[in-house]
């Protein structure tokens, strides 16, 4: 049984936070259940805001062992994401002149999806992945992987073992970290004097402006803008000297950090900090307006699906994703509106979506049953999925993209 802690203290700066959006009680988004399961644990999901540093975060923190020791998401299942990280790693190998004498560490390395690019180039790698089942997949692929949570203590162990990194990657993990300050201090501890940290996080501005509220779930403790990140990293002697806005996962930031004293930040950092001030990143009213828009959206999806059902249409869903679990449970969409869910991940097939009980099948089920519509829960992979499902669409099938408002394509 998972345990949950409630806090109104900012994870980045320690000041008090204020709540602005409650999703009620939701199941853990990646806690897939056996088909036919009736009773599931649910936990409060409340978003809060720190007006001191600008960090958006959850009031609740579910114990990490319950969330991450066994995981169902494999990064390698997305060809688009594999291309995304391949391009990045090839770029860094050239920029940093990495070779057999270098070391690249990735925090939350999953199945080795990123590190294998470095290994292929003859560059030593080390993964840190707390999910034991996924770490085992990486090891079978030849990726040296420690199956632990990254922390200041683990960083001290790595440092004492002489494992200091030229490059540290941390893709889509910083949002999962309860102890932000300890995590960033650990990065500084295992980074070589001339090394570089490269981190990708979903951008809270995209979440707000595109109404991507379904990216909120218990694993995502924090929702970042650049403003609080700069202050957070500075506390551990790290400078964010470059930032890039990238389209993955509905809109993300890629930040580059190094030990302080390495020179002035690039224009990209000063420009984005200025843009965020004008956007009023520390203004609570911004987030209250977002909460109002989310609450107004809530009945919209149900009404769209109900109208199609009333017209005799069959509807399935694509993507047994965490954001899909939030969307379905918050909006009250269940088996009365959807028939089933499909997903490419073999680790998800044969189970059911948490909270709503919808069975998960392989994508072949779309061609076998040919539903009239498919609700796209994994909308962050829209183009990739539309391409994969060209035959389903050729036969007349249509997709429904839910946010920022339901639309049919």
Supply 154's token pair: 């683990």
| Domain architecture of the chain: domains with CATH | 75-282 (3.40.50.150), 298-408 (3.40.50.720)
Structure tokens at 180: 């932000």
Per-residue pLDDT of the chain (409 residues; tens, 9 = 90+): 678 899 999 999 999 999 999 999 999 999 899 999 888 899 999 999 999 999 999 999 998 887 877 776 678 878 888 999 999 999 999 999 999 999 999 999 999 999 999 999 999 999 999 999 999 999 999 999 999 999 999 999 999 999 999 999 999 999 999 999 999 999 999 999 999 999 999 999 999 999 999 999 999 999 999 999 999 999 999 999 999 999 988 899 999 999 999 888 999 999 999 999 999 999 999 999 999 999 999 999 999 999 999 999 999 999 999 999 999 999 999 999 999 999 999 989 999 999 999 999 999 999 999 999 999 999 998 999 999 999 999 999 999 999 999 999 9
Q: Do 40 and 354 form a contact (C-beta atoms < 8 A)? A: yes
**CA 221, CA 55: separation in Å to the nearest integer?**
10
Peptide bond into 404 cis (omega under 30): yes
DSSP codes joined into one string, 177-206: -S-HHHHHHHHHHHEEEEEEEEEEEEBHHH
Q: What are the start-end ranges of the H helices in 76-114?
A: 79-95
Record the pTM: 0.91
Tokens 């975060």 belong to: 57
- 138 and 109 Cβ atoms separated by less than 8 Å: yes
8-state DSSP, 266: P
Tokens for 270, please give them: 């000063």
- CA 409, CA 402: separation in Å to the nearest integer? 11
């Amino acid at each position: 049984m998972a345990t949950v802690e409630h806090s109104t203290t900012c994870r980045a700066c320690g000041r008090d936070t204020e709540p602005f959006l409650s999703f009620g009680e939701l199941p853990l988004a990646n806690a897939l259940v056996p088909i036919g399961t009736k009773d599931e644990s649910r936990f409060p999901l409340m978003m809060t805001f720190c007006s001191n540093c600008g960090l958006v975060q959850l009031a609740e923190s579910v114990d990490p062992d319950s969330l991450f020791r066994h995981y169902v998401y494999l990064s390698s299942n997305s060809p688009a994401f594999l291309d995304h990280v391949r391009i990045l790693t090839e770029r860094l190998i050239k920029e940093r002149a990495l070779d057999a004498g270098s070391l690249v560490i990735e925090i939350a390395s999953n199945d080795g999806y990123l590190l294998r690019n470095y290994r292929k180039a003859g560059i030593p790698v080390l993964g840190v992945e707390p999910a034991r089942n996924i770490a085992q997949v990486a090891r079978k692929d030849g990726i040296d992987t420690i199956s632990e949570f990254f922390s200041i203590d683990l960083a001290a162990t790595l440092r004492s073992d002489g494992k200091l990194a030229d490059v540290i990657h941390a893709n889509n993990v910083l949002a999962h970290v309860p102890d932000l300050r300890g995590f960033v201090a650990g990065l500084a501890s295992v980074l070589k004097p001339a090394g570089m940290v490269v981190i990708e996080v979903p951008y809270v501005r995209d979440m707000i402006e595109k109404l991507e509220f379904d990216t909120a779930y218990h694993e995502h403790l924090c929702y970042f803008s650049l403003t609080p990140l700069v202050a957070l990293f500075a506390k551990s002697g790290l400078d964010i000297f470059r930032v890039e806005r990238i389209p993955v996962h509905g809109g993300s930031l890629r930040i580059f950090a190094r030990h302080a004293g390495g020179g002035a930040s690039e224009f990209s950092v000063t420009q984005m900090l200025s843009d965020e001030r004008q956007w009023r990143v520390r203004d609570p009213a911004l987030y209250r307006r977002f909460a109002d828009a989310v609450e107004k959206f809530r009945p919209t999806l149900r009404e769209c699906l109900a109208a199609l059902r009333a017209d005799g249409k069959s509807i399935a869903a694509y993507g047994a994703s965490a954001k899909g679990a939030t969307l379905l449970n918050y909006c009250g969409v269940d088996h009365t509106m959807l028939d089933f869910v499909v997903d490419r991940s073999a680790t998800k097939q044969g189970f059911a979506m948490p909270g709503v009980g919808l069975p998960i099948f392989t994508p072949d089920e779309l061609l076998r049953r040919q539903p009239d519509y498919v609700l796209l829960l994994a909308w962050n992979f829209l183009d990739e999925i539309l391409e994969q499902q060209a035959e389903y669409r050729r036969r007349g099938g249509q997709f429904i993209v839910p946010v920022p408002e339901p639309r049919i394509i």
